[in-house]
Amino acid sequence: MITCQVCGNDIPVSKGHCYFCGAHQQRSKTASSKERERLLRTVILKAGLPTVEEGLMRLEAELFKAKQDGVPVLRIVHGWGSGGSEGKLRESCRAYLNGKIASGFIKLALRGEDYSRHSRPGKELLNRYTYLRNSERADSNNPGITFVIL
């Protein structure tokens, strides 16, 4: 199944048009793994169990590096806080990213729990960045990640 590029409903891959709205569907080329790395960078902040300060410093460095490299989407893996810290890194990262949105440095930060082909923001992200479909199953509704659009 693919998502209609106009109405967002699920339609069979083999069809060239949407049963629901009748819109013609453009075929997108599958990006190579090397191109996907340039289009989507995964940053695993929770590796090594950093303090909140260490995690935020790393996040800031990764944001600047991705922006410099022209990477449009970051998948930030901060964990969901099952280690007793009650999600301090997750909440701090998201607060930091909200500040970056307010300053205009990033366009969007989408929480993993809001990322799904059934949610409006998730559909929009999947339609715009079709290569995210490769990991959609693992990322969908995942509170341990946040997507950042630069």
For tokens 């891959």, name the residue.
13
Q: Per residue of the chain (150 residues), what is the pLDDT tens digit?
A: 676 555 556 677 666 777 766 777 766 555 555 555 678 899 999 888 899 999 999 999 999 999 999 999 999 999 887 655 558 999 999 999 999 999 999 999 999 999 988 899 888 988 898 888 877 777 888 899 999 999
Contact present, 104 and 148 (Cβ < 8 Å): no
Ranges of each domain in the chain? 1-28, 31-149
For tokens 């590096």, name the residue.
65
Looking at the domain that runs over 31-149, which CATH code has it been given? Answer: 3.30.1370.110
Contact present, 43 and 119 (Cβ < 8 Å): no
Give the other-Cβ count within 10 Å of 99's Cβ.
Answer: 11
pTM given for the model: 0.73
Closest by CA to 117, choosing from 103, 104, 105, 128, is: 128
Give the strand pairing for 145-149 and 40-44.
unpaired
Helix axes 88-103, 52-69, angle to 10 degrees: 40
